[in-house]
Amino acid sequence: MHDASTAGAARDVMQICRNGHVITDLLHAYPERGLLHCERCGASTLDRCSTCGQEIPGAICVPGLVPAGTARPPNYCATCGAAFPWINRPRPPASQQRAQLEAMLRRLPRVIRELRWRQGEQPPFRVEAARDLEDLLRALLLLYFDDIRHESRTPSYDPGTRTDFVLLPQRLAITAKLVPLGVKESQIVEQIQIDSAYYQALQNCATLIIFIYDPEALLREAPALERAWSRREDDFEVRCIIAAP
């Protein structure tokens, strides 16, 4: 018996770089999305098994519906069972990935400063709101991590919708904050408590990194505040990182 929702569905083709980064899973429908080399790491790309020549299955295309999301790359060919190149790619240990992430967050103010200056008449990229910070963080996380899930939520302290980032293999979530003029430290503490309660209740999160960008250096004694606002409770950790120009 066929599900009515998938009746008439066809399978597109996935293109992946040799390091396992998915380029597109709609290569036939949108061939212009295909690349010779990965934009993230520069590795060459492939869309079929190099052993048997079978195309790598991509998105399921249902007439009248637009495929949403991107599937994860398979580890083995479903036709001949051969391993794809990315399965043997050495991955840095979790501790090294965590160190890379924290180093990137601490250098983010320098990145923001550099993006203010653009060649020609291009408008500068400015971080003036929390949404700008989220956009920049979303792009930079792709340099280090493959499986990044967006977590949209509307906490009580924010009338708008926030976008956090969950790294599933690392069981780690990242939320970003921009320190506005006139903010009180007690307000930030309250926000941290709300964020912590939210992520501590999630099954797939063991660590919450709270990144606080303080463009005007309003928070005094930032190292002491980081220690005070970070904590470990049972199997859940809250790590606070404050970065200022």
- The mean pLDDT values, 10 residues at a time, for the chain of 245 residues are 48 91 90 90 89 91 62 88 80 76 95 86 87 94 86 93 91 95 94 96 93 95 96 93 95
- Residue that is written with structure tokens 């006139």 in the block: 182
Distances (CA, A) of 122 to 38, 113, 125, 162, 245: 26, 15, 9, 28, 23
Instruction: Tell me what pLDDT residue 224 has.
Output: 96
Q: Output the CA angle 130-135-136, nearest 5 degrees.
A: 100
Distance CA 23, CA 21 (A): 6
Instruction: Tell me what pLDDT residue 61 has.
Output: 75
CB 21 within 8 A of CB 28: no
Q: What is the dihedral of CA 85, 88, 93, 97, to 10 degrees?
A: 0
Torsion-angle region of 107 (φ positive above 0: left; ψ -120 to 50: alpha; else: beta): alpha
Residue 165: Cβ-neighbour burial (10 angstroms; 0-12, 13-18, 19+):
buried
Which sequence spans correspond to the domains of the chain?
Answer: 1-89, 94-243
Instruction: Tell me what pLDDT residue 5 has.
Output: 44
| CA dihedral sign, ordered 216, 219, 213, 180 | negative
CB 38 within 8 A of CB 105: no
- DSSP code at position 112: H
Whether this model's pTM surpasses 0.85: no
CB 162 within 8 A of CB 155: yes
Structure tokens at 138: 């979303």
Torsion-angle region of 140 (φ positive above 0: left; ψ -120 to 50: alpha; else: beta): alpha
Q: CB neighbours of 101 closer than 8 A, spacing ≥ 6?
A: 144, 172, 174, 209
